[in-house]
Amino acid sequence: MAQIVDRRLNGKNKSAVNRQKFLRRFRKQIKKSVENIISERSVTDLDKGEKISIPKKDTSEPFFHHGQGGHRDMVHPGNKEFKQGDLIPRPEGGSGQGEGGEASDTGEGEDDFVFELSREEFLQFFFEDLELPNLVKTKLSSITETRKVRAGHTSEGIPSNINVVRSLTGAMGRRMALRGPYKKELHKIEKELIELLKHHNETDRIIIDLRERIVYLKNRIKKIPFIDTFDLRYDNRIDEPVPTTQAVMFCIMDVSGSMGREEKDIAKRFFMLLYLFLTRTYEKIQIVFISHHTVASEVDEETFFYSRETGGTVVSSALKLMASIIQDRYPTNDWNIYAAQASDGDNWHNDSKICIDLLNNNIMPFVQYFSYIEITPDQHQNLWDEYTGIQSGWDNFAMKKIEKTADIYPVFRKLFEKREA
């Protein structure tokens, strides 16, 4: 006789340890692959898992086996026209027949070992040892806000929280339980009565007694209350602390004529990465898109990335707008503020001084982090020089120059690399 065991509820992730070991062992290769993906992938689908390929020769495990050459005899099925003694030219390019028939005869490219990285794992690799600077902002640890969450049922509460189904189920159970003994006796007596009536008259003492008993029992049953306060159940709600880990991210981009499609694309990716990164740290993130040429405006994402504008560049307009938005909507004790600015570095010459003032007085004191990327293949532009002064004054200010898409990842890491505490 066989024993049948249901193992479905046993842990299924027996291989998780081995999988982790595999990922750890090939961490270098996987990271490289991830870096390539960041620079190649379309912006809109960064936040998902990825197919990773690493060179097969790295993952293969060597063992002693025969190489090509020498003499061997093989048997194959499916002969059509061969006759004994036929001579066949040796196939080009080698290993038509590996030993044991395991070699790929189809000539498919088998150079890479390809597998899927889950979204979490992918981002883990991507964000590895990154850390938002000055993360200890105000409310990260201190809890002020709470929210109500359901937490089962209680026997006490306010009427509006009565859970009808629960209460009635309880009542029904209680009624059944209390009625049980009476009903049992009732059934017994009624049966007895029928038996006795065959031989006795209604007026006989024994019948009258039984009748009385029946009435008594029926009354007892009737007296069991339909619902009792004891049955009432209330939905229970308790307060759960909600850490206010909310952040707002300002994306500022120069959309003037000097920013081409390619530059915008790079900027877009940079913002995307920043956003992704913030989602790892904060529960709630708002994004404010500010695009500017000579004037700045707050726009939606679509317009931000895809609208085309022409004209000159006045950076201060954007900074001014940002400062006022912070003041109106994002009080610094509730919000962690991050800003990322992308530009080709071009600015109207007389404007740079105004930018410095705005930054020093109205922006830098309030933000967690301000990052500026200059996207240009050429020399540093005038905005860069002005910002250099700011960088020395504030350690939550960072600036970097990006030339091509592949630069983004290293720059991004540089911007947010772990700082000494």
Partner 1 sequence: MTDTAKKNQPVSQTSEWTFELIEKYHSEIERIAGNFGLSTYPIQLEIITAEQMMDAYSSVGMPVGYSHWTFGKEFVNTEKNYKRGQMGLAYEIVINSNPCIAYLMEENSMPMQALVIAHAAYGHNSFFKNNYLFTTWTSADSIIDYLLFAKNYVAECETRYGEEAVENILDSCHALKNFGVDRYKRPPKLSLQEEQSRQQEREDYLQSQVNELWRTIPDKGQNESNDSPLRYPSEPQENILYFIEKNAPLLEPWQREIVRIVRKISQYFYPQRQTQVMNEGWATFWHYTILNQLYDEGLCTDGFMLEFLQSHTNVVAQPGFDSPYYSGINPYALGFNMMTDIRRICEYPTDEDREWFPDIAGTDWNETLHFAMKNYKDESFIGQYLSPKLMRDFKLFALNDDDRSRQIEVSAIHNNRGYQQVRSTLSEQYNLGSNEPNIQVYDVDIKGDRSLTLRHTQFLRRPLDKSAYEVIKHVARLWGFDVKIESIDEREKIVKTYECSPPK
Chain residues in the site for partner 1 (CB under 8 A): 1-8, 10, 12-15, 17-25, 59-80, 82-90, 97, 99-102, 104-106, 113-116
Identify which of residues 56 and 329 has a Cβ nearer to partner 1 in the complex.
56
- On whether the CB atoms of residues 47 and 120 are closer than 8 A, the answer is no
Q: How far is the CB of 93 from partner 1 (least distance, A)?
A: 15
- Cα-Cα-Cα-Cα dihedral of 354, 403, 36, 104, to 10°? 160
Identify which of residues 23 and 162 has a Cβ nearer to partner 1 in the complex.
23
Contacts of 289 (CB under 8 A, 6+ apart): 251, 253, 298, 299, 300, 301, 303, 304
Would you put residue 209 in left (φ > 0), alpha (ψ -120 to 50) or beta? alpha
Q: How far is the CB of 307 from partner 1 (least distance, A)?
A: 40
Residue count of the chain:
421
Amino acid sitting at position 106: T
Question: Smallest Cα–Cα separation from 127: which of 416, 421, 420?
Answer: 416
Identify which of residues 5 and 165 has a Cβ nearer to partner 1 in the complex.
5
Instruction: Using only the alpha carbons of the chain, give its radius of gyration.
Output: 38
H-helix or E-strand containing 285?
A: strand 284-292
Q: How far is the CB of 30 from partner 1 (least distance, A)?
A: 11
Identify which of residues 25 and 419 has a Cβ nearer to partner 1 in the complex.
25
Q: How far is the CB of 53 from partner 1 (least distance, A)?
A: 11
Identify which of residues 113 and 394 has a Cβ nearer to partner 1 in the complex.
113
Identify which of residues 115 and 394 has a Cβ nearer to partner 1 in the complex.
115
Coil, strand or helix at 416: coil
Q: How far is the CB of 74 from partner 1 (least distance, A)?
A: 5
Identify which of residues 13 and 333 has a Cβ nearer to partner 1 in the complex.
13
Cite the DSSP H helix spans in 198-338. 205-223, 261-281, 301-306, 315-329
Cite the DSSP H helix spans in 282-398. 301-306, 315-329, 352-358, 382-393
Coil, strand or helix at 307: coil
Q: How far is the CB of 40 from partner 1 (least distance, A)?
A: 21
Q: How far is the CB of 36 from partner 1 (least distance, A)?
A: 19
